[in-house]
Amino acid sequence: MESVAARRLLLLRHGQTTYNATRRMQGQLDTELSEEGVAQAERVAAHVGRRERDIRRIVSSDLSRAAQTADVVGRVLGVDVERDSRLRETFLGQWQGRTHGEIDAEYPGQRATWRHDATWAPPGGENRVEVAARMRAVVDELLDDDSWPGSTVLLVAHGGAIAALTASLLDVPVSHYTMFNGLRNTAWVELTARPRPDGELGWYLGAFNAEVFGEETGEESER
């Protein structure tokens, strides 16, 4: 029988990279944190260390920018970090490594289409629905962990992937997936799963794009 205790889920975006700072699309390129990104990770880790006492598991994308951020948080909390490649950012195909201006010049109008249609993918890349499916598979597996009810799981990942997962968990229609966008560096999403009257779990949004109050945490997400 399903436990009545709530499961809390935090989705944290990685710190800034030089690609973020120069508005260059990363996708699944393995970029590392900038000096500012390391400082952001340290600030959010200190905040989490003060405010979050019940994080039992941390699972991170295996891309360096997320893994580095997760490791900083894990050290503060004393929690080992697990890696999962399914938490990677959207694969952006031919757009990876290019600036917004370069993409707009070669693919006019396509970034706007991508922003507004979750079923549309960049040339050779993934769409939001595909990203949400692989991200959600991680959460579904974590639901089998009997230690989760009454505690918190932290996933450290990427802006686009977190937005897609959030829409999926909230059962948002695919036509409205793109309402979730613009996650800042080291900002987070807070979700809680509680049993519904029919016995199934329902996910509820507590915060989106939350960040350390009074601190500069980086640019909006452009993957």
Active site residues: 14, 89
The answer to whether position 222 is within a domain reads no
pTM of this prediction?
A: 0.93
The answer to whether position 223 is within a domain reads no
The answer to whether position 202 is within a domain reads yes
Helix axes 64-77, 35-51, angle to 10 degrees: 40
CATH number at residue 84: 3.40.50.1240
Q: How many domains does the chain have?
A: 1
State which residues form the domain around 84.
7-210
The answer to whether position 216 is within a domain reads no
What are the pLDDT tens digits along the chain (223 aa)?
444 689 999 999 999 999 999 999 999 999 999 999 999 999 999 999 999 989 999 999 999 999 999 999 999 999 999 999 999 999 999 999 999 999 999 999 999 999 999 999 999 999 999 999 999 999 999 999 999 999 999 999 999 999 999 999 999 999 999 999 879 999 999 999 998 888 889 999 999 999 996 544 444 444 4
The answer to whether position 19 is within a domain reads yes
The answer to whether position 221 is within a domain reads no
